[in-house]
Amino acid sequence: MSEKNWQNDSEYVALVSDLLVRDEVLRLAEFTQHYYSNRLEHSLHVSYRSYLIGKKLDLNTRALARAGLLHDLFYYDWRNTKFDMGTHAYVHPRIALRNAEKLTDLTPMEKDIIVKHMFGATKALPRYKESWVVTLVDDYCALEEVGDPLYHRVADKIKLRFGVSI
Ligand SMILES: [Fe+2]
Ligand SMILES: [Fe+2]
């Protein structure tokens, strides 16, 4: 199944359907994320690809689908917003976590996935395999969305680390 066809995957949709009717999630479509996509499309890409990898590896697909969808749940344009508390890379996972907690109950794994998804730019090590999957898939999707051929390299990393092709 192609990663673009999440709508036809009823098993996946069942895991996120309660979130996909919420304005707080749908509003993400108003924000440009990377140059060619909005934040909702990006979040769905990350969520569904992470879910597919999790299925192959027998990981927690519910946590991957849900936290993948909520990992960038923030409502500002990161290109023209500055923070006193730190960089966008540091701040936005924490804002996303706070917004996600208002929306739904989160398991410790789901919280870890959201707050560690910028690993590399932030220092705290992901605690679960699922968190590693989402941080790598997020990199991959971001590069792919801007048409950067570097995404092949991230795909290689995912293959090396998890033995699955993306
Ligand atoms: Fe992010
Ligand atoms: Fe992201």
Each residue of 70-80: pLDDT tens digit? Answer: 999 999 887 77
Q: Closest-lying ligand to the alpha carbon of 43?
A: 2
Q: Calculate Rg over the CA atoms of the chain.
A: 15
Q: What is the pLDDT of residues 98-107, one digit of tens each?
A: 999 999 999 9
Alpha helices in 58-128 (DSSP H): 61-70, 88-103, 108-115
1 within a domain of the structure (yes/no) = no
Q: Domain of 65?
A: 6-162
Residue 75 belongs to domain with CATH number: 1.10.3210.10
> For residue 42, how far is its CA from the centre of ligand 2 (angstroms)?
7
pTM exceeding the 0.75 threshold for the entire prediction: yes
87 within a domain of the structure (yes/no) = yes
> For residue 28, how far is its CA from the centre of ligand 1 (angstroms)?
12
127 within a domain of the structure (yes/no) = yes
Q: Tokens standing for 37?
A: 């996509």
Tally of structural domains, the chain:
1
| Of the candidates 28, 36, 47, the residue with the CA atom closest to the CA atom of residue 130 | 47
Q: What is the pLDDT of residues 107-163, one digit of tens each?
A: 999 999 999 999 988 889 999 999 999 999 999 998 888 888 888 889 998 999 988
Q: What is the pLDDT of residues 82-91, one digit of tens each?
A: 777 788 889 9
Centre a 10 Å sphere on the Cβ of residue 121 and count the other Cβ atoms it contains: 13
57 within a domain of the structure (yes/no) = yes
138 within a domain of the structure (yes/no) = yes
Q: Looking at residue 120, what is its pLDDT? A: 87
Q: Closest-lying ligand to the alpha carbon of 137?
A: 2
> For residue 163, how far is its CA from the centre of ligand 2 (angstroms)?
22
Identify the weakest region by mean pLDDT among 16-20, 55-59, 140-144.
140-144
Alpha helices in 36-80 (DSSP H): 39-57, 61-70
Q: Closest-lying ligand to the alpha carbon of 117?
A: 1
